[in-house]
Amino acid sequence: MPLTTHGPTQLSPARIRLALFALALGGFAIGATEFVAMGLLPNLAQDLLPGLYRAQPDAANARAGWLISAYALGVVVGAPTIAAAAARRPRKQLLLALLIAFTLGTVASALLPSFELVLAARFLAGLPHGAYFGIASLVAAELMGTGKRARGVAIVLSGLTIANVIGVPAITWLGQSAGWRLAYLVVAGIFALTFLAVALVVPHQAGNPGSTIRRELRAFGRLQVWIALLIGAIGFGGLFAVYTYVAPLVMEVTGLAAWAVPIVLVVIGLGMTIGNFAGGALADRSVRRTMYGAFGVMLVALTALAFSAQSVAGLLVGVFLIGAAAAALSPTIQTRLMDVAHDSQSIAAALNHSALNVGNALGAYLGGIAIAAGLGYVAPVWIGLGLSGIGILLAGATFAIDRSRRRLGVAVPYGTAAITVVRAD
């Protein structure tokens, strides 16, 4: 049965699938631009920091990790700013503007000559990230219809996770073979292709005419919003503490050659793809149980990887489970944010990606400190374990507050009139 989107226009199932594919293609391009640096970290360090790399390769790799942190910080700054300021704009128009910004920022990353300029370009390239996923998730949720909110989010995020199966390994191989600058130009081409796809097949959706910056910013006055953000910002750091330094982990700890790095990235991507869809389906049933389960798997996998990274089997199983658990958390945390943000839906949808990229920056930064201190490439795994442990404690706190409020007879919101209710327990 066709669905209606912000008006009387009827959409066929085929049109809906094409629109969802276009939105997911944007996620694919974002996954490529965000994660390709992980596999090319030694190449970036060698080319942009040649003197430091010759003298201290570990220190150069750690500093090259700043490129990942810069992108993540761009996401943190851009997501709430753009989402709050542009919530009234037509959603398709906003998506197209964001895709232009992505294309230009990625081209600049590929062409600028120095480490400092590339660092600035990565920050700028990250600015549209959260707003794109936030607005695309709202579009997908409406296209999917009643009761399928988390699955709509998961479809948009599936592009990002599939990028880790196909795009990131392939582009990493290309970057190793032909230079990291060409790799980023390919990514920019994918963004340009996404622009065309969105322009052609995504239906018009009006923005929220009643939205104001003040109303959107009300989300920051709610304790449960802040706790949900901290769950993503700290707990998700467990993934990025490992992922940022996966290339040197594979080569220096497990002892494999550079050609094995894309294979390991495929394994992580497979885990993320499976975890994303599983998390989306399970979160539509229970946000609370899905969050606890994903964090539980993450803690077990990080512990196992810390003790078994020297073996190929231990490495592959560990990174697969870490990727699956982290990806399951993403639509779960996003759904939780939309539940507790009341009428600040645009900023809530985008803030999830700010939080997750704080985790990206935090994991990369703390892992780099440990490596630069001479603690080795397994040290970031232990840091990731600590970050994920804090994440599950925060999850326990947010749901304990819900239970306390219910006992006191205080209403616990699970959505708004515009969004289908999803139970948190």
Phi-psi region of 145 (alpha: psi -120 to 50; beta: other; left: phi over 0): left
pLDDT in tens, 60-93: 888 888 888 888 788 888 877 887 776 677 888 8
User: Where does 343-406 show beta strands of DSSP type E?
Assistant: none
pLDDT of res. 4: 40
pLDDT of res. 161: 77
Beta bridge partners of 11: 3
Least confident of 97-106, 156-165, 284-293, 315-324: 156-165
**Backbone phi and psi for residue 343, each to the nearest 5 degrees, phi listed first:** -95, 10
Assess whether pLDDT exceeds 70 at residue 97. yes
pLDDT of res. 343: 67
**Which is it for the CA torsion 327, 328, 331, 337, positive or negative?**
negative
Q: How confident is the model at residue 208 (pLDDT cuts 50, 70, 90)?
A: low
- Among residues 233, 220, 106, 115, the alpha carbon closest in space to that of 171 is found at 106
pLDDT in tens, 333-390: 888 887 787 766 667 767 777 788 788 778 888 888 888 888 888 999 999 999 999 9
What are 236's two structure tokens? Answer: 């998700």
Assess whether pLDDT exceeds 90 at residue 209. no
- Between 118 and 144, the higher pLDDT residue: 118
Residues 156, 24 contacting (CB under 8 angstroms): yes
What distances in angstroms separate CA 422 from CA 148, 150, 228, 254, 343, one per listed residue? 9, 9, 16, 43, 15
Pairing of strands 3-4, 10-11: antiparallel
Beta bridge partners of 10: 4
Give long-range contacts, CB 8 A cutoff, 24+ apart: 120-123.
120/70, 122/37, 122/67, 122/68, 122/70, 122/71, 122/74, 123/70, 123/71, 123/73, 123/74
CA 109-27-297 angle, 5° bins: 110
Mean pLDDT, to the nearest integer, of 406-412?
66
Helices (H), 86-202: 91-111, 115-126, 129-144, 149-162, 168-178, 180-201
pLDDT of res. 1: 36
Q: How confident is the model at residue 284 (pLDDT cuts 50, 70, 90)?
A: confident
Neighbours of 112 (CB within 10 A): 17
Q: For the chain, give the mean pLDDT.
A: 82
pTM for the predicted model, two decimal places: 0.70
For every residue of 229-276, DSSP letters joined together read: HHIIIIITHHHHHHHTTHHHIIIIIS---TTHHHHHHHHHHHHHHHHH
**High-pLDDT (> 70) share of the chain, %:** 87
pLDDT of res. 149: 64
**Backbone phi and psi for residue 286, each to the nearest 5 degrees, phi listed first:** -160, 110
**Backbone phi and psi for residue 373, each to the nearest 5 degrees, phi listed first:** -80, 0
pLDDT of res. 365: 82
Mean pLDDT, to the nearest integer, of 14-21?
85
Assess whether pLDDT exceeds 50 at residue 117. yes
pLDDT of res. 344: 67
Cα separation, 38 vs 127, in Å, equals 19
Neighbours of 91 (CB within 10 A): 24
Q: How confident is the model at residue 285 (pLDDT cuts 50, 70, 90)?
A: confident
Mean pLDDT, to the nearest integer, of 114-120?
93
pLDDT of res. 416: 38
Assess whether pLDDT exceeds 50 at residue 35. yes
pLDDT of res. 74: 87
- Where do the domains of the chain lie, and which CATH numbers do they carry? 8-407 (1.20.1250.20)
Phi-psi region of 409 (alpha: psi -120 to 50; beta: other; left: phi over 0): left
pLDDT in tens, 288-342: 899 999 999 999 999 999 999 899 999 999 999 999 999 898 888 888 887 787 7
Assess whether pLDDT exceeds 90 at residue 203. no
3 state DSSP class of 341: coil
Write the burial class of residue 14 (CB in 10 Å: 0-12 exposed, 13-18 middle, 19+ buried).
exposed
Assess whether pLDDT exceeds 80 at residue 44. yes
What distances in angstroms separate CA 128 from CA 119, 135, 419, one per listed residue? 16, 11, 24
3 state DSSP class of 10: strand
Cα separation, 53 vs 39, in Å, equals 17
Helices (H), 163-236: 168-178, 180-201, 213-217, 223-230
Neighbours of 300 (CB within 10 A): 15
Q: How confident is the model at residue 411 (pLDDT cuts 50, 70, 90)?
A: low
Least confident of 159-163, 177-181, 263-267: 159-163
Residues 25, 197 contacting (CB under 8 angstroms): yes
Assess whether pLDDT exceeds 60 at residue 171. yes
- Between 217 and 372, the higher pLDDT residue: 372
Q: How confident is the model at residue 424 (pLDDT cuts 50, 70, 90)?
A: very low
Residues 216, 84 contacting (CB under 8 angstroms): yes
Which of the given ranges, 111-120, 256-265, 398-407, has the highest pLDDT on average? 111-120
